[in-house]
Structure 1
Amino acid sequence: MDDAVDRTPDDCDTRGPQTRRGRHRGAPSFDRLLLDSRPVGPERARQGIHSTTTDAWRVLRMQGELVEGFGTLAELGPAVAVFGSARVSPDSPTYALAREVGSRLVEAGYAVITGGGPGVMEASNRGAKDADGESVGLGIELPHEQGLNQWVDLGIDFRYFFVRKVMFVKYSQGFIVLPGGLGTLDELFEALTLIQTRKITRFPVVLVDSGFWAPLMDWITDTLVARGMISSEDVELLCVVDTAEEAVARLVSINDPS
């Protein structure tokens, strides 16, 4: 008789390639070990002893993740990254919208790249599969993260956020951004900063759902531009639409203006 205890998603932590349950849960993430200079308790003692060597080894881990990402995605072909909230439920209008975005991108000749998680990411990967297209997920180590969603065909799990961001930018011909939270905003403004500073060639950044994005656009125009923090031309780095059809059409027209 199997007397194993049923476990919920909250019983599990992931840490890079590691899965941790029970007494092994709660270990700091690789990003925290890299960036946090204020560890507490036993963690401080461990870092005090090993800090002179572990940072050097972390560089090798980063190098390994970059090599893995480049090697896995090198032959992907034209692709578009779709960003949005992991908290969107499958019965929500935003989920349906993201799923349609994924399908229409494939029909337009693009692979779909997401963060590989639930919500908008799952919906976009699912839409890509609906259209028999390439569905890619770039996962990240997060507390209670349950791995890549079932609609990902080609997936990579990363320890470090910055390495994952490199892959999104390098292998995407544009970003489509649906409603989301802090992670979505981080990815959005990272892309805008790289374009504005000409660190990358300009590519389309399309926001979907004007009702959601209107307050942000008003703040950008009425505060950032009005106070001289950015130029009026910077606003043109973004376009806002309401439908999946418009989103993909705008992306295609910017990538191929002829």
Structure 2
Amino acid sequence: MSQSNGRQSGRDPERHRGAVTLRRGAIPTSTADQRLLDSRGRGDWKTKDAWRALRILSEFVEGFDTLADLPSAVSVFGSARSKPDSPECRLAEELGAALARAGYAVITGGGPGVMEAANRGAREAGGLSVGLGIELPFEQGLNDWVDLAIDFRYFFARKTMFVKYAQAFVVLPGGFGTMDELFEALTLVQTGKVTRFPVVLMGTDYWRGLLDWLRDSMAAEGKIGPVDLELICLTDDVDAAVRHIVAAEAALATDQEEVREEAVARTAADQQAARRAADAGAPTGGPGRSAGVGAGDPGPDDTGAGGPGRGDADGREG
């Protein structure tokens, strides 16, 4: 459920729950996330939480269905509180345009500030501008530069979409929410949940202190490895950021093609080995029959898997 900022438009504030619009006294005082995490009312869990699980599932289904045909995309994060004329907003708008020209859709949280600037840059450059809104007890509705929007009740469903449908994260100056997305991405890359997923920080003056702390405290004390610091690309150059993303996507495509070719070669080798084993065990009475067929005497390389080509391959890849 998203909330529109009525104060800016002169209208009463409103919230949206899918097809449902709430205004004035109909707007609840808490959000779906607050109610989900509330420790009170535990006696009602058998009814409320069971039904809430279906609502959560519906958010995943709607997100997957809506974004399934999205082209290559980049998720851009940054503060909703940044002013339109701030350095980070100007940088975000330039970034959004550059990503669009490179063929990427731009995904943001759909709010104001840095998010709006990135959406605007993408939209004005002719790219696809996506906003993934979230129900909050304050602040923004979706900005006017979003072409494709989804409103979420739950942060975890929304965060899944940011990662699943993006080829990279670009993170500009922001607050707790921005930090949350940044460290979630770093954790997913570090633990191998996603591969070749670039994380770009833009705004060197803003991020330098954090990177110094990661190196001088976290890495120095062994809480992360030196290689983990290499997961982050720091730059103020929009073109350099886009080149980094394009190169990582190309490398991933190469890796995937190599894996596919290796799988094809392995399958062909297994099938050839199975045919040789079958030929070696063929009786002299006639070609084409495996030794022991119908006599309970399997050949030396018989896998018992029901035919040639199975067994070895299944055993390696199962």
Query: What's the TM-score, normalizing by structure 2?
Result: 0.72
Counterpart in the other structure of 1:32? 34
Matched residue type, 1:188: L
| Residue of structure 1 equivalent to 2:308 | none
Q: What is the SS of the residue equivalent to 1:236? A: helix
The question of 1:64 aligning with 2:68 is answered no
Aligned amino acid, residue 125 of structure 2 = A
Structure 2 residue runs without a partner (length 5+): 1-5, 255-318
Which position in structure 1 is the counterpart of 2:311?
none
Q: 1:253 aligns with which of 226, 240, 247?
A: 247
Q: Is the 8 A contact 1:14 1:146 kept in 2?
A: no
Residues 122-201 of structure 1: matches in 2 within 5 Å?
Answer: 122-201=116-195
Q: 1:175 to 1:48 in 2, by over 3 A?
A: closer
Q: Can you list the C-alpha shifts for 1:105-126, whole angstroms capped at 9, x where unaligned?
A: 0111111000000011100000
Q: CA deviation at 1:249?
A: 1.8
2:232 alignment partner, one of 235, 238, 243? 238
User: Rg: which structure is higher?
Assistant: 2
Distance (Å, rounded) in 1 between the aligned partners of 2:22 and 2:139: 11
Greater relative contact order: 1 or 2 (C-alpha under 8 angstroms, separation 6 or more)? 1
How do 1:36-51 and structure 2 match up within 5 A? 36-37=38-39, 39=40, 47=41, 50-51=44-45
| 1:12–1:19 contact (8 Å) kept in structure 2 | no
Aligned partners of 2:43 and 2:193: how far apart in 1?
38
Aligned partner of residue 14 in structure 1, secondary structure: strand
Displacement, 1:13? Answer: 6.1
Percent identity over paired residues: 57
1:209 aligned onto 2:203 = yes
Paired residue secondary structure (1:256): helix
CA contact 2:189–2:195 (8 Å) conserved in 1: yes
Aligned to 2:15: 14
SS for the counterpart of 1:142 is coil
TM-score, normalization by structure 1: 0.89
| Counterparts of 1:119 and 1:213, CA distance in 2 | 18
Q: How far apart are residue 20 of structure 1 and its match?
A: 4.6
- Find the aligned partners of 1:224 and 1:11 in 2 and give their Cα distance: 47
Task: Give yes or no for the alignment of 1:83 onto 2:77.
Answer: yes
1:139 is paired with a residue of what secondary structure? strand
**Structure 1 counterpart of 2:120, one-letter code:** R
When residues 22 and 244 of structure 1 are mapped into structure 2, their CA distance, relative to the original with a 3 A threshold, is same
Contact 2:14–2:24 (CA<8 Å) still a contact in 1?
Answer: no
Separation in 1 of the partners of 2:12 and 2:183? Answer: 33
What CA distance in whole angstroms lies between the structure 2 residues aligned with 1:69 and 1:26? 24
* Counterpart AA for 1:12: P
Q: 2:213 aligns with which of 209, 219, 230?
A: 219
1:14–1:145 contact (8 Å) kept in structure 2: no
2-structure distance, mates of 1:14, 1:222:
45
Unpaired segments ≥5 residues, structure 1: 1-6, 40-46
Take 1:172 and 1:120, find their aligned partners in 2: how far apart are those partners? 18
- 1:125-157 CA distance string (max 9 Å, x none): 000011101110000001234421100000000
Letter of the structure 2 residue corresponding to residue 216 of structure 1 = L
Instruction: Render the CA deviation track for 1:63-101: whole Å, top value 9, x for unaligned.
Output: 100010000000001000000000111121211110000
Instruction: Check the 8 A contact 1:116/1:148 in 2, yes or no.
Output: yes
Which stretch of structure 1 is more off in the superposition, 196-205 or 22-31? 22-31
Q: Distance in 2 between matches of 1:15 and 1:195?
A: 34
2:94 to 95, 100, 122: 100
